[in-house]
Amino acid sequence: MSFLKPDKKFLKKKIKAAILHLFLIGAVLFFISQKKPVRSQERIISLGEAATSLFRLRQPILLAPQLIRRVNEALPGTKEAHLLGSSDYRILAPSREPDEPAVILGNEIFLEEFLSEVQGKSLGLVINQTSVLPQGKALLQALLDKGQKVQAIFSPEHGFFGDVEAGAEVKDNEFKGIKIYSLYGGKRKPTAEQIRDINALIYDIQDIGIRFYTYITTLKYIIEAAAEANIPVYVLDKPNPLGGEIIEGPLLRPEFSSFLGEVPITVRYGLTAAELAMMMKGEGWVPEKAEIRAVKMKNWKRNFFWEETGFAWIPSSPNMPTPETAIIYPGTALFGAVTLNRGEGTPSPFLQFGAPWLDNTSIIKKVDGKNFGIELEAADYTPCSIPGKALNPLYVNKVCRGIRVSIHKKEKFLSLRFGLEIIKAIKEQLPNKAFPESRYLDQMFGTDLLSRYIKGKASYEEVLAQMEKDEKAFEEKRQKYFLYD
């Protein structure tokens, strides 16, 4: 009888990784045991900042919610720290290369270089749970600590705390005695009355670089409201987790304009929020008199994905728990059109998808993941109701024959095209299956071409050809608004 010899290098690597993980957890627990938590509401932090203040590792590490809370409580200067955001964990961002200069966020630059411009003025903050400095303090608290007057807060979809399910109405609220006006309730744009006593608006929200992610529509409305009130908007820039090089998708047609998308850009547009704001003004999508002050980051590069920034990821919305989720979102978000569960109601939204009727193994054979720099794996799962994330997901409590996606080469992963390939494979597998008509799909995709393809009224080649034409046009147009190399 013969036995396969184990791969010693592989075993050694795995053992080393396991020891390192155990060492981290042990060190964090020791750190906790040496600190006495103090009670207050002065600082908002994430687990990522807690642990990266102790260690810088090359691989992401997930820690249990109980440990998260204890780390947060134990951090020096942290007083009853809040886990703002609805995910049950935080991801520790791998460190950048040792010789890479640190990325400095727009909110850091604003506090260091722009405060004199707003000294003594009443400010309106457009913020949520992602409006945090790298050291862990909320921008709101940092401004209050410096004596700035915050007149009002404006919150986008998902609310100030980022814990409201997608599409659910967010009501007005109050925090530290400051009025919070919801921009995802009865009104989507600040009213003249709400900003009457405000001298400047400050926008500091983590976007994910996708046209149908509603924060950029909120940005457009904020700029419009500020222009009408003759006050400036400071856009404190943050990294695009999808990087600044890859663009994908058709341009939005005017007839499909909605809160899901109001500007004619591609689905995946490869700009930061400040770059997009400048493009909105330069292309005449907001009033010419709009006064936009882009507060640039330092040391961010267009080829950076989130991991290269060295920052911990704070979920930008309840179903965006990791940067990888953001990367795949442009493609798998479309799957509702073919009645697939998109991983909602599970711990891995958008990174897995399925349906009780799906022949997952056949789809995996049709779509070669290696061509996209990803790995596809058959995985059955059962969506369940998760309040604040997915109260009633498609196929709730039913076993879905699913496909799980692992991203290995982000720079190669054209996620929108991957989504189209999955839709094509399902259509070929079930040529007679009727899918519901969806204007929502047209608003997301930006045209009705994909809907027409699903209904057999357009070819797949037509869809790709239109995308390629639009991508080329947008690539030429966007470059003059680059703030980074």
DSSP state of 344: T
| CATH code of the domain containing 142 | 3.40.50.12170
**pLDDT (0 to 100) of residue 434:** 83
- pLDDT tens-place string over residues 221-257: 999 999 999 999 999 999 999 999 999 999 999 999 9
How far is it, in rounded angstroms, from Cα 287 to Cα 291?
9
State residue 437's pLDDT score: 82
On the question of pLDDT at 70 being above 90, the answer is no
Phi-psi region of 192 (alpha: psi -120 to 50; beta: other; left: phi over 0): alpha
How does residue 93 score in pLDDT terms, banded at 50, 70 and 90? very low
pLDDT at 436: 86
Q: What is the mean pLDDT of residues 462-480?
A: 98
65 domain residue, yes or no: no
* C-alpha to C-alpha distance for 31 and 48, rounded to whole angstroms: 15
Predicted pLDDT of residue 182: 98
Q: Is residue 38 part of a domain?
A: no
3-state helix, strand, coil in the chain (%, to 5): 35, 15, 50
Q: What is the pLDDT of residues 409-464, one digit of tens each?
A: 999 999 999 999 999 999 999 998 888 888 999 999 999 999 999 999 999 999 99
- Indicate whether 280 and 304 sit together in one domain: yes
Strands of 85-193, DSSP E: 122-126, 149-155, 173-175, 178-182
Q: Which domain holds residue 393?
A: 323-477
- Claim to verify: residue 345 and residue 430 sit in the same structural domain: yes
Least confident span in 46-50, 121-125, 455-459: 46-50
DSSP string, 247-295: -BSPPPPGGG-BTTB-S---SB----HHHHHHHHHHTTSS-TT--EEEE
15/395: higher pLDDT: 395
- 140 and 245 assigned to the same domain: yes
pLDDT 10s digits, 26-35: 544 444 344 3
Secondary structure (3-state) at 41: coil
Query: Considering the entire predicted model, what is its pTM?
Result: 0.82
When divided into structural domains, the chain yields a total of: 2
250 domain-assigned: yes
Round the average pLDDT of the chain to a whole number and report it: 85
Of the residues 288, 311, 334, which one is the last residue of a structural domain?
Answer: 311
Query: Residue 353: what pLDDT?
Result: 98
Higher pLDDT, 63 or 138: 138
* Residue 318 maps to a domain: no
Domain assignment of residue 329, yes or no: yes
More reliable by pLDDT, 298 or 18: 298
Percent of the chain predicted with pLDDT > 90? 77
